Structures are given as C-alpha cells and as structure tokens.
Amino acid sequence: MPATPAISLLAISPFPLVAPGDDIATMILDAQLPWEDGDVVVVTGKIVSKAEGRLVRLDTVTPSTRAIELAAATDKDARLVELVLRESIDVIRARPGILLVRHRLGFISAMAGIDRSNVGGDEDDVLLLPVDPDGSATRLRAQLQEATGRQLAVVVSDSHGRPFRHGNVGVAIGVAGVPPLIQLEGVPDLFGRALSRASVVPVVDAIAGAAGLVSGEAAEGIPVVVVRGLRVGGEGGRAADLLRSPEEDLFARPEDA
Amino acid sequence: MPATPAISLLAISPFPLVAPGDDIATMILDAQLPWEDGDVVVVTGKIVSKAEGRLVRLDTVTPSTRAIELAAATDKDARLVELVLRESIDVIRARPGILLVRHRLGFISAMAGIDRSNVGGDEDDVLLLPVDPDGSATRLRAQLQEATGRQLAVVVSDSHGRPFRHGNVGVAIGVAGVPPLIQLEGVPDLFGRALSRASVVPVVDAIAGAAGLVSGEAAEGIPVVVVRGLRVGGEGGRAADLLRSPEEDLFARPEDA
C-alpha cells in the first residue's frame, strides 16, 4: 500500500506585475519550468484581463437610469453597476450589498466578476473579466506549446461565490486542451456496478479550485499555478459547457421572472 | 522567478476495501507515509460510513405515505426516499429524477448523500452518510497524531452537485484541525488595498475538491488523499460553519415555502 505523489501544484512565484499589453506567455516561460506533457497551466482571469487592458476608470462611466436604481437597491456605486449591467445578460438577485448577475459569458457571479482587489490604482480603477477567456486560453496554450514542445492545457480561472455554502472557490471561465466535464455514466465502480447519469466531474473547475489553494486572494502574487500529474485525456470543449442552461437550472431563475 | 512545488497530493493506493468495524486510522497508518507536520488527510465520507456500518438494506425499510408520494413525483424507489426523508430536515426541490434536500447535517445535497456507487452488495444495499463527520474527523485525527507524533488535520469529504454549474465537486462534511473558512476582510492585496468582506476562502472545501481530482468517483480505489504543503494556521471550527443559514441563503428556499 504505497503512497504515491499523485498531483503536484507548482507556483511561479513571485510573478511580475502584469500591465496592459504584456505577453503572459513570455512571462510564464521566463520561469523556465521543467515542463512535462500533461501540465495544466492555471492562470487567473485577473492577469489575463490586465494584459488585455480591461481596466476601466469609473469616472469615464455614465450610469443609466436602470443602473442608478439598481445601485440604490444594492448600496453600490452607480457607475460600477452600469459596468456590471453592460457585462451581463440578466440580474439574478439584487439586495443591499448583493448584486448577482448572469454574465454575458453565461455563468452567474457577483458583480459580473468586476472588482478592485489586486488591481492597483485608486478606488476609481476597476477590472472587467477577459473578453473571451476560452480564446485567451487557446492562444496562451498555443504559445506555450510552441515554445516548450510539450502537450499542455490552459485554464483561465475566476473566484466565484456559491449558493448554499460560504466563501469563494476557483472555477474555470476559459479552457483549452482539457475537457471541461468528464461524464462517468456507465463507467464501472469498484464492484463493477455502472455509475449513474449523475456522475459528472467538472474537472477544470476542480483544477481551478485546487490552484486557488496556491494562488490565494490577497497579496500572494501567484497568478499562475501549474497542475502536474493529472491524467485527463481529450481535447475540446468550452468553459460554457460547465454551465447549466437557464431552463434546466432549478435555482437561477431571476426574481422578477 | 523560480517555480516552487507548493502543494502536493499523495494517494494511498490501492487502499483496502473497508468493512463495518474496520479501523480506518490503522489502515491509513499501514501505508507508512513519511508524515509531515501540516499534512491534511482527506478521507471520503464513503469509507467512514462503511467503517461505521451505515449500510442499509432497502428490504428492511417500510416507506411512509409521504415517501411513497415523493417517490412517485421523483421516479425514485419509495424505500430509498424514505431513508432520504429520515436523513433530512427539508425537501428543497423535487422533480422527476431529482430530489434535493437539506440534510440533517445542514447542507443541501441530492438524495441526502445516500447512494449505491462503490458500496458493493446488490441493488438493495445503500449507504448513508456518517452519523457525525466532525466527530469522525476528530477521532481519526487524534489516532493519527498519536501514532505519528505529527500535527495533522483531517477532512471528511463528500461529492456534491451545484446549482448553476454541471458536475459534482468534493466538499468538506467533517473537519478537524483546520479552519473551515478563512476570512480575509481587511487583509491587504498586492497594492496594500484592504480586501472586502466578500473575501472568504472555504479552505476545507477547496482541499476536498482538490483531493477529489485524485480520488475520482469510479473504480480508482483512492479514498484517502494526503494534501501536503498548505500553510493554513489555526484549529477549530465545524463543517457546518461552511453553510449559509436558510435565512441568509438567496436560493435554498423550499418551493412550498
């Protein structure tokens, strides 16, 4: 009954601060990791956004009437709420201190993922999520594979709150080179009994969550984590594959529906 | 910019099959790991339940009228639904194929965590969750610390579905020796800006989720994973600290409320 090291999480630390126009691939490659086939590179959406120049100055934003009303209902800055609405499809819950929306990328999150932490600047500087995280992941993967000659995958992560349970966990908002979900229906268990339709593993969310243990949310300065030792075959898939459709979701109905 | 191995997940594999009355601590110690202070031992609720003899034969269960009605509404076995009701406080959602409840331990899960996968026996054998997972974690921790002389933590994990997103992720249903949540309010970010009240890290859920990458859900036979390299200080706390109260939860209201 030996204990085998199954998975390891490597931190690139300290990672340099990322500015608009920076090439994240180059910054990662500068760490000169001994890359291995199968490594999954988890990159926070935050540095992808910074590199893509998704910083917005609130004093450039004119709130709409709806944003002003929603800001009053949620005790939020109306200019910030205006940005949230521009980045969203639907308002799911609005309460004092709480604004949950369905992001244009499909997932449900607080404030459309817009925040100020680790953004720098002053209180007027906020950061939007990347424009197309799957696309960012795909491009980053191509650059890293080209430079290293290894078979790699990339996950762009964000930190989401959860219904039912406290706290924020890492989830995948962009993927390339790793299947978002693994369907285990029909796969035999230890005793040969076929697993049910309910056995679905959101492997990239689990990867993003694990990487979050290393990245942290404060001043750790570890926006890139390499997950090594996963044996997840297969390509393809988009981060949106992780999302329940509004029709099938039992909880996400907007309150005014 | 060196890459440092931050966290590693060690699998005890193959782990022997667990039967009622088995001592899990002894089985783990048999692996003769080179234990280190700070190691977190993640044990699936499944083997804890098996050791505690939480196996139930459905042919010993007489369903109530309510269970029979709910079984018809959900296309489930009425005897199984009877067990779900006995293990639950509230029915949250009932649909054909779906029965979500608030478990007596406080969390919301499908079928009160009762299932047949990796249970063995025949279709009539089902396994309930451990009676008191925090207690199980505390006892296991004491045994492991006594035998190894190391400072260890224990997490009892389960696999839960999620609103909004597909798939099941590992969460903590029992904890000992590691704080369930880390509150980061006021902690400075990279630029010295204090993090907001929303910055809460459910560290034991993240640990359980990461361990799930190793354990899998099928025939992996890896019910014990050791997470090494976390620097999470502090004791205390119960798994229930992870749960939003029904009053504050924006999504968990029962439909008939």
| Predicted confidence (pLDDT) per residue in B38-62, tens digit | 999 999 999 999 999 999 999 999 9
Tokens 């002389």 found at: B149
> At which of A86, A108, A128 does a domain end?
A128
Helix axes A65-74, A78-86, angle to 10 degrees: 120
The CATH number for B16's domain is 3.30.1330.100
Q: What pLDDT was estimated at residue A248? A: 82
Q: Which residues contact B142 (CB under 8 A, 6 or more apart)?
A: none
Most confident of A6-15, B95-104, B243-252: B95-104
What distance in Å separates residue A64's CA from the closest CA in chain B? 26
Q: What's the whole-number average pLDDT of chain B? A: 92
Query: What's the pLDDT at A91?
Result: 95
Cβ-defined contact of A213 to B206 (cutoff 8 Å): yes
Q: pLDDT exceeding 70 applies to what percent of chain B?
A: 97
Query: Is residue B83 located within the same domain as residue B170?
Result: no
pLDDT tens-digit series, residues A211-237: 999 988 887 889 999 999 997 777 778
Range from A139-148, B180-189, B234-243 that averages highest in pLDDT:
A139-148
pLDDT at residue A157, rounded to an integer: 97
Contact (CB<8Å) B250/A206: no
Please tell me if residue B29 touches chain A, with a CB cutoff of 8 Å. no
Q: Which of A70, A94, A128 is the last residue of a domain?
A: A128
Residue B1 has pLDDT above 60, yes or no: no
Residue B119: half-sphere exposure toward Cβ, Cα within 13 Å:
21
User: Do the beta carbons of residue A234 and residue A217 sit within 8 Å?
Assistant: no
Interface contact B201, partner A, CB < 8 A: yes
Do B106 and B198 sit in the same domain of this protein? no
> What's the rounded Cα separation, in Å, for the pair A208 and A220?
16
Q: Look at residue B112 and tell me whether its pLDDT is greater than 90.
A: yes
Residue B229 sits in the same domain as residue B105: no
Specify the range with the lowest mean pLDDT, choosing from A228-232, B53-57, B80-84, B152-156: A228-232
Burial of A73 (0-12, 13-18, 19+ CB in 10 A): middle
Asked whether the beta carbons of A45 and B43 are under 8 A apart, the reply is no
Tokens 């369930």: give the residue. B180
Q: Is A219 on the interface with B (CB under 8 A)?
A: yes
Q: Please tell me which residue of chain B has the smallest CA distance to A18.
A: B190
Q: Are residues B119 and B232 in the same domain?
A: no
Contact (CB<8Å) A213/B7: yes
Smallest CA–CA separation between A160 and chain B, in Å? 10
* Total domain count, chain A: 2
Answer yes or no: is A254 within a domain: no
Residues of A in contact with B201 (CB under 8 A): 167-168, 212, 216-217
Domain of B137?
Answer: 7-54+129-246
Query: Which residues 126-145 of A are in CB contact (within 8 Å) with B?
Result: none
CATH of the domain at A69: 3.90.1660.10
For residues B162 and B117, state if they share a domain.
no
Confidence bin at A239 (pLDDT 50/70/90): very high
Closest CA to A154 of A28, A23, A8: A28
Q: Would you call the peptide bond into B202 cis, given omega within 30 degrees of 0 as the criterion?
A: no
pLDDT at residue number A3: 67
pLDDT recorded at residue B256 = 52
Question: What mean pLDDT is predicted for residues A105-120?
Answer: 92
B137 in any annotated domain: yes
Let me know if residue A163 belongs to a domain. yes
In B, which residues are within 8 Å of A94 by CB distance?
A: none
In order, the DSSP letters of B59-112 are: GG----HHHHHHHHHHT--HHHHHHHHHTEEEEEEEETTEEEEEETTS-EEEGG
Query: Which 3 state secondary structure label does DSSP give B167?
Result: coil
Query: Is position B255 within any domain?
Result: no
**ipTM computed for the complex:** 0.93
A118 Cβ under 8 Å from any chain B Cβ = yes
d(CA A232, nearest CA chain B) in Å? 10
Q: Which of B4, B165, B203 sits opposite A11 (nearest CB)?
A: B4
Query: Domain for residue B256, yes or no?
Result: no
Shared domain check, A159 and A79 = no
Q: Which residues of A25-43 are buried (b: 16+ CB within 10 A; e: fewer)?
A: bebbeebebebeebbbbbb
Averaged pLDDT for residues A12-21: 92
A206 → closest Cβ in B1, B187, B213:
B213
The answer on B205 and B164 residing in a single domain is yes
Q: Do B206 and A170 touch (CB under 8 A)?
A: yes
Distance (Å, whole) CA B44 – CA B174 = 10
Residue A220 to residue A160: CA distance in whole angstroms = 18
Q: Identity (one letter) of the amino acid at B152? A: L
Q: What DSSP letter does each residue of chain A carry, written as one string?
A: --EEEEEEEEEE-SPPPP-TT--HHHHHHTT-----TT-EEEEEHHHHHHHTT-EEEGGG----HHHHHHHHHHT--HHHHHHHHHTEEEEEEEETTEEEEEETTS-EEEGGG-B-TTT-S-TTEEEPPPS-HHHHHHHHHHHHHHHH-S--EEEEEEEEE-SSB-SEEEEEEEEESS-S-EE-TT-B-TTSPBPPTT-EE-HHHHHHHHHHHHH-SSS----EEEEE----------GGGGBPPTTT-SS---TT-
In terms of DSSP bridges, do strands B182-183 and B200-201 run parallel, antiparallel, or are they unpaired?
Answer: antiparallel
A13 shares its domain with A36: yes
Cβ neighbours of A22 (radius 10 Å):
16
Q: Answer yes or no: is B61 within a domain.
A: yes
Starting at the edge strand found earlier in the chain, the sheet holding B98-103 runs B88-95, B98-103, B108-110
Q: What is the mean pLDDT of chain A?
A: 92
Same domain membership, residue A73 and residue A168: no
With contact defined as beta carbons under 8 Å apart, do B150 and B37 qualify?
yes
Cα radius of gyration rounded to whole Å, chain B: 19
Decide which of A69, A100, A128 is a domain's last residue.
A128
| Half-sphere exposure at residue B211, Cβ-oriented, CA atoms within 13 angstroms | 34
Give the pLDDT mean for B26-32.
95
Is residue A16 located within the same domain as residue A39?
Answer: yes
Per-residue pLDDT reduced to its tens digit, A35-44: 999 999 999 9
**CA distances to B33, B35, B212 from B29, in Å:** 7, 10, 21
CB distance A205 to A171 below 8 Å: yes
- Per-residue pLDDT band for B202 (boundaries 50, 70, 90) equals very high
Residues B223, B202 share a domain: yes
Domain match, B116 and B242 both? no
Interface test with B, best of A107, A164, A204, A255 (most B CBs within 10 A): A164
What's residue B189's pLDDT?
87
3-state secondary structure of B36: coil
Q: Is residue B251 a part of any domain in this protein?
A: no
Chain B residue closest in CA terms to A253: B251
What residues 45-84 of chain B have any CB closer than 8 A to a CB of chain A? none
A200 touches chain B (CB under 8 A): yes
Q: Which helix (H) or strand (E) holds B219?
A: none
Among B163, B199, B213, select the one facing A230 at the smallest CB separation: B213
A35 located within any domain: yes
